[in-house]
């Protein structure tokens, strides 16, 4: 009985691997909408983070060039 279950699971997993359906347009659009929403929500925090990173890069590059 246990072997039958294991074989059934393997058949289901094998069928999953052979499935050729990809992501649809709807899923891709949903992912893009969520990412845009996150950027809008955290816009100020992201801007501050990027500014700090570029300031550090600029400061460190000036010390290397001297």
Provide Rg for the chain, Cα atoms. 25
22: left (phi over 0), alpha (psi -120 to 50) or beta: beta
Q: How confident is the model at residue 62 (pLDDT cuts 50, 70, 90)?
A: confident
Sequence spans of domains, the chain: 23-66
Q: Angle at CA 54, nearest 5°, toward 64 and 66?
A: 15
- 50-59: average pLDDT: 93
pLDDT of amino acid 60: 86
Q: What's the mean per-residue pLDDT of the chain?
A: 80
Which pLDDT tens digit goes with each residue over 9-34? 555 666 766 666 677 888 899 999 99
């Amino acid at each position: 009985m246990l072997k039958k279950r294991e074989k059934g699971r393997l058949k289901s997993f094998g069928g999953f691997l052979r499935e050729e359906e990809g992501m649809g347009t709807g899923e891709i659009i949903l992912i893009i909408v969520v990412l845009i929403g996150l950027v809008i929500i955290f816009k100020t925090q992201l801007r501050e983070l990027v500014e700090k990173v570029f300031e550090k890069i600029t400061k460190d590059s000036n010390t290397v060039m001297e």
